[in-house]
Structure formats: C-alpha cells, structure tokens
Amino acid sequence: MHSEPDTPARRWRVETALPVCKLGGAALFVGLGALFADGDPVRLGAGLLVAAVLLGWGVRDLVAPVRLAVDPDGVTVIQGFAGRRHIPWSEIERITVDTRPRLGLPTETLEIDRGASLHLFSRYDLGVAPREVVEVLHAVRAGGPAY
C-alpha cells in the first residue's frame, strides 16, 4: 500500500463547488441555530451538530479531493477520512456501474469490487458520470490509452 501512484493516467475528484456549499451550509446552520435557539439549548445544539457534520464533510473534500486515480498498475481509491489505497489490477474482480432509481431519478454508482471490499463512487465523488469513468478504467486495465 502506498499513498498515490507516481504517474496516474487519470484522476477523478470532487468538484470545487461541493465543499464550498458544504462549508457554507455549516455556517448557515450555526446562524440558524443561534437565531432560532431562543434560549433553548436543544435547538442550538441541533444546529451546531448539523454544522459540525457539514464542516467535517466539507473539510474531507478539501483535504482529499481526489477520490479515484488510475494508472497501468491499478487504481488508487480514497480510504477512511483522507487516506489512499492502491489496488493492483490483479486484486480487482469486477468494475461495474450500478443504476438504481432514487427519488424517481436514475442514479449511477461506480463499483470497484475487490472481493474482500467494495469501493463505491457517485457522480459527486468523481465530478463526472460513473459511466464515463468505467470506460476509462476498462481501457487502462486492458492496456489501452486512458482517454
């Protein structure tokens, strides 16, 4: 296991606007909690709790924006809060896109199946549609160009 491949053929990352929205939402909930608390510590606490979750989520996006990278040796995925794990092609059993309806709309999720673990990436993690990414991953795995 190492931190990141030396020369990744391609990387996918969280879009810049996403952590900005999360951090702005955290500030908004602090303000709303203070505004509507009216002396009630539960209301203030609820606002602060939601703000803390959004803050942590936004900080993760800033600290580790690259969620997936591919090179001729395999893929590097995010692990834990901001760690990375390189997975050689030999350990990857299957790479697919799962499409399911959520709230009446089709939602795609990229699945990288290692057998012992399953790594899932949404459009928000990758910055592009998972279908586009799976094509690149299959091409690199087959030894073709990454683009």
- CB atoms closer than 10 angstroms to residue 47: 21
Q: For residue 122, is pLDDT > 70?
A: yes
Domain ranges of the chain: 17-62, 67-141
Q: For residue 27, is pLDDT > 60?
A: yes
CA distances in angstroms from 60 to 48, 67, 77, 88, listed in the order given: 18, 11, 14, 25
Side chain identity at residue 93, one-letter code: E
Q: What is the pTM of this model?
A: 0.81
pLDDT digits (tens, 9 = 90+) for 5-25: 444 579 999 999 999 999 999
pLDDT digits (tens, 9 = 90+) for 58-91: 999 999 999 999 999 999 999 999 999 999 999 9
Q: For residue 147, is pLDDT > 60?
A: no
Q: What is the rounded CA–CA span in Å between residue 147 and residue 144?
A: 9
Estimate to the nearest angstrom the gap between the alpha carbon of 130 and the chain centroid. 12
How confident is the model at residue 5, as a pLDDT? 43
Estimate to the nearest angstrom the gap between the alpha carbon of 144 and the chain centroid. 26
How confident is the model at residue 9, as a pLDDT? 72
Q: Are 47 and 53 in contact (CB under 8 A)?
A: no
| pLDDT band of 2, cuts 50, 70, 90 | very low
